[in-house]
Structure 1
């Protein structure tokens, strides 16, 4: 089966109050909600989602994909309204509201519920954080990689496809600060081809350990991701986190980010001023 016929489906957890799934844990669901919905944190997440995560997805050279944005049913109405406004011009996007539940089982259930054809056809799945970006040709390259790997897909229920070259970047009032990065199995620009009737999804696995569970194919030929680096990253909430040296983009860098990720550095400056 050609990848052009496969459903491409992505999932983004937008401050969903899962039970588990965070590196920083909380004693109660109320404590988790308080952390997730703190005004300063939500302002940053909404701005990074609008200016970093969504532009590249909206500009995909292959627009044939589905993008699920998972939120809590308890997400305050004002934030829900802003999310809906951000995706009003993105027909691929759908907000999925769920009660708090165990992280991996509920994400698996959401993806499987949104597979077309009753999951009787193979699918191409990817995960996406709300402060990360993928290149504008990510979906196209994802499909091409699946075709490149047709022999593996014929023999294995799951095959990971990883694009490991891109940038670590932070949005600031002065614009994007960034540094080139090679990050195998990081989670952004990482996908999985899944056979028909296979119930496991990309959200069943720790992304850093996908190569321990299935064959993987890696591409390093072009910049395919931007990993968001900011004060509210879940991975940066613990002590002894390694610092990353970032530098402002020059004009060539700004042009490259606009061409690869549809990220407008002037919009970043306005949004984070």
Structure 2
């Protein structure tokens, strides 16, 4: 069975919906998203948290679509063009502002859906979080075990719920071990290509209303980074897993190719405050 693994990463996309932080006009949103200081931070997180594991995936048979606006300021638009040119698995889609967020996401993903695939494993990827270096390999392997369950409904979610929460402030980066339900990271949704839907069409925190949802708690599969620029910043429903004596620098390097010392220096250099939101970091 041909399973295509297809992800979507939105990099400061300017459009309606898709955000918890609201703005009164598109000009206000553009000023917020494209502020030079914010973009400098977002690119640093993207380069140091998100990208390393995708560049090192043990199964290279995947596509990651990066979606942004055609007016994304330089040098970041040029950097994304360079990345898509140099990395075969990364595709860049420039989508003009659209009011309906799911329609914009579909416009970005649709050109890359493989009509010959029997199943597409859609996944969403924030530009400041990470999946493990073997995420694609594990997702494809585990789907083979769940194939009969998928056939019953023609849709299936696999929630890799064991991960780490990184918290970045002006004092540096801390690491906490968490099992979090349906966090949206490392959470592939398997759909038939003719359905013409992506992962963002389903609210990740209540995906069980739409399909069977299998929770996998084995390997450490996600790293979520909480910092001042988060749209949400809440950890979500879950609990800690035992990690006494864990060497976080070693684990992050092994599973995510993240350099914790470099990330810590970056957070200190940016002088990040904790976000002023009631549920940030909890």
> Normalising to structure 2: TM-score of the pair?
0.85
Residue 54 of structure 1 deviates from its aligned partner by: 0.4
The residue number in structure 2 matching 1:29 is: 26
Q: Does 1:126 align with 2:123?
A: yes
SS of the residue aligned with 1:77?
coil
Q: 1:204 aligns with which of 196, 201, 205?
A: 201
Matches within 5 A, 1:1-273: 1=1, 5-86=2-83, 89-101=86-98, 102-116=100-114, 118=115, 121-171=118-168, 176-236=173-233, 252-269=247-264, 271-272=266-267, 273=269
The residue number in structure 2 matching 1:247 is: none
| Residues 173, 269 of structure 1: 8 Å contact kept | no
Q: Unpaired runs of 5+ in structure 1?
A: 242-249
**1:84, 1:112 → 2: CA distance?**
19
What is the CA RMSD across the aligned residues, in angstroms? Answer: 2.4
- Relative to structure 1, the CA distance from residue 199 to residue 62 in structure 2 (aligned partners, 3 Å threshold; closer, same or farther) is same
Residue 180 of structure 1 deviates from its aligned partner by: 0.8
**2:193, 2:264 → 1: CA distance?**
45
**1:236, 1:156 → 2: CA distance?**
33
Residue 157 of structure 1 deviates from its aligned partner by: 2.0
**1:164, 1:115 → 2: CA distance?**
26
Question: Where does structure 1 differ by over 4 angstroms across 4 or more consecutive aligned residues?
Answer: 85-89, 171-175, 269-272
Residue 271 of structure 1 deviates from its aligned partner by: 4.4
> Normalising to structure 1: TM-score of the pair?
0.88
**1:271, 1:86 → 2: CA distance?**
22
**1:196, 1:114 → 2: CA distance?**
11
Deviations 1:140-161 (A, max 9, x none): 1110111010101222221011
- Relative to structure 1, the CA distance from residue 61 to residue 147 in structure 2 (aligned partners, 3 Å threshold; closer, same or farther) is same
Q: Unpaired runs of 5+ in structure 2?
A: 237-244, 270-282
Deviations 1:30-78 (A, max 9, x none): 1111110111211111000000000011111111100000001121132
| Residues 46, 83 of structure 1: 8 Å contact kept | no
| Residues 169, 228 of structure 2: 8 Å contact kept | no
**1:88, 1:269 → 2: CA distance?**
30
